[in-house]
Amino acid sequence: MGYELWTEKYRPHTLDEMIDQDEIVTRLKSFVKAKNVPHCIFAGPPGTGKTTAALCLAHDLYGENYREYIMELNASDERGINVIRETVKTFARTKPIGEVSFKLLILDEADNMTDDAQQALRRTMERYSETARFILIANYSGKIIEPIQSRCAPFRFTYLPAEAVANRIKYICEREKVEITDDGIEAIIELAGGDLRKTLNILQTAASTGKPVTADLVYAVVGKANPAEIRDMMLTALNGDFIAARNKLRELTRKYGLAGTDIIRQLHGEVFRLNIPDNWKVKLADVIGEVDYRLVRGATEEIQLSALLAKLVEAGYEMKKSLR
């Protein structure tokens, strides 16, 4: 299996290799064809291909030696005004040799830049637009100042659909000779939530055990309980068996090593999947929120989670009464 991270090993290198961002890829290809790129903002959730798209654009624009024509900066580490005045300006002012008359500066996590640095960047973008084009990558484009936004072509990335993620998982498992079950794929997709980077990290972690990748294994390696077990514990409480529900809770904490706040998050997610009246979902969500607040304030986990199960038992009694 090797030691290479799959997030890097299976990162697309050209725009043609990118998956399920067709509209964005089409627009970027038109830039490559014209050999002209405007300043751009790539905005959207993490793991949706923003940085990859910028690197693929550079590869298709400059060829195999594209690294000579680009500079990558991570703005969360290097976001001060001095970096813009010195590093960025030095790179931007020199003209490249070749067919393309400008270089690319890729500024990752640009939404973490200070306001002063963004003001300095705006001026640099104006002065050196003939020799350098900027691609700003951000999770939240609203944190980038308006003068910069107005100078850039916006690209909105969205979470990848489950079908595209599943196809990528199957492709990688086939290449790496990893055995994976359908419920394993579903578990990875649910945990990653459309973030392909997180998807590949979970898949590689599970595959590194050398066992077939099943849902139970996936939840175990990420330190989460199987939602089916959480749901079973909740239904046991709603059916009035407090002691059995409490035993299941203890078993879950021992089996997965979960903290109270982790269990609370999963309980909150499962409430809305239960087959109970909507008004009771609202009441249970309120109770779970109260317990979560107490845990954050330092209350004892076992006591609070037991109290929550007791509330579920009471809710079950009340629901049965209302149906009579």
Domain edges within the chain? 6-156, 162-221, 227-323
State mean pLDDT over 124-130. Answer: 89
In CATH, what class is 6-156? alpha beta
Alpha-carbon distance of 114 to 144, in angstroms, equals 9
Topology classification of domain 227-323: Zinc Finger, Delta Prime; domain 3 (1.20.272)
Please report the pLDDT score of residue 3 as a whole number. 66
Number of neighbours of residue 133 by Cβ within 10 angstroms: 23
Q: What percent of the chain is modeled with pLDDT above 70?
A: 96
Asked whether residue 134 carries a pLDDT value surpassing 90, the answer given is yes
Please report the pLDDT score of residue 193 as a whole number. 87
Please report the pLDDT score of residue 14 as a whole number. 94
Q: Which of 39-43, 178-182, 201-205, 276-280 has the lowest mean pLDDT?
A: 276-280
- Of the candidate CATH numbers 1.10.510.10, 1.10.287.610, 1.10.10.60, 1.10.8.60, the domain formed by 162-221 belongs to 1.10.8.60
pLDDT digits (tens, 9 = 90+) for 231-286: 999 999 999 999 999 999 998 888 777 888 889 988 998 998 888 888 999 999 99
> In this predicted model, which residue has the larger pLDDT, 1 or 49?
49
State mean pLDDT over 144-151. Answer: 92
Closest CA to 180 of 135, 220, 223, 211: 211
pLDDT digits (tens, 9 = 90+) for 81-94: 677 777 888 888 88
Average pLDDT of the chain is 89
SS3 state of residue 256: helix
Look up the pTM and report it: 0.81
Please report the pLDDT score of residue 2 as a whole number. 52
Please report the pLDDT score of residue 261 as a whole number. 87
SS3 state of residue 288: helix
* 72, burial (CB in 10 Å: exposed 0-12, middle 13-18, buried 19+): middle
Amino acid residing at 119: Q
State mean pLDDT over 201-224. Answer: 92
Same fold, 6-156 and 227-323: no
Categorize the per-residue pLDDT at 116 as very low, low, confident or very high, splitting at 50, 70 and 90: confident
Please report the pLDDT score of residue 21 as a whole number. 86
For the CA atoms of 322, 314, 255, 212, the dihedral, rounded to the nearest 10 degrees, stands at 10
State mean pLDDT over 280-296. Answer: 93
User: What residues contact 78, with CB distance under 8 A and at least 6 apart?
Assistant: 87
Asked whether residue 206 carries a pLDDT value surpassing 90, the answer given is yes
State mean pLDDT over 67-74. Answer: 88
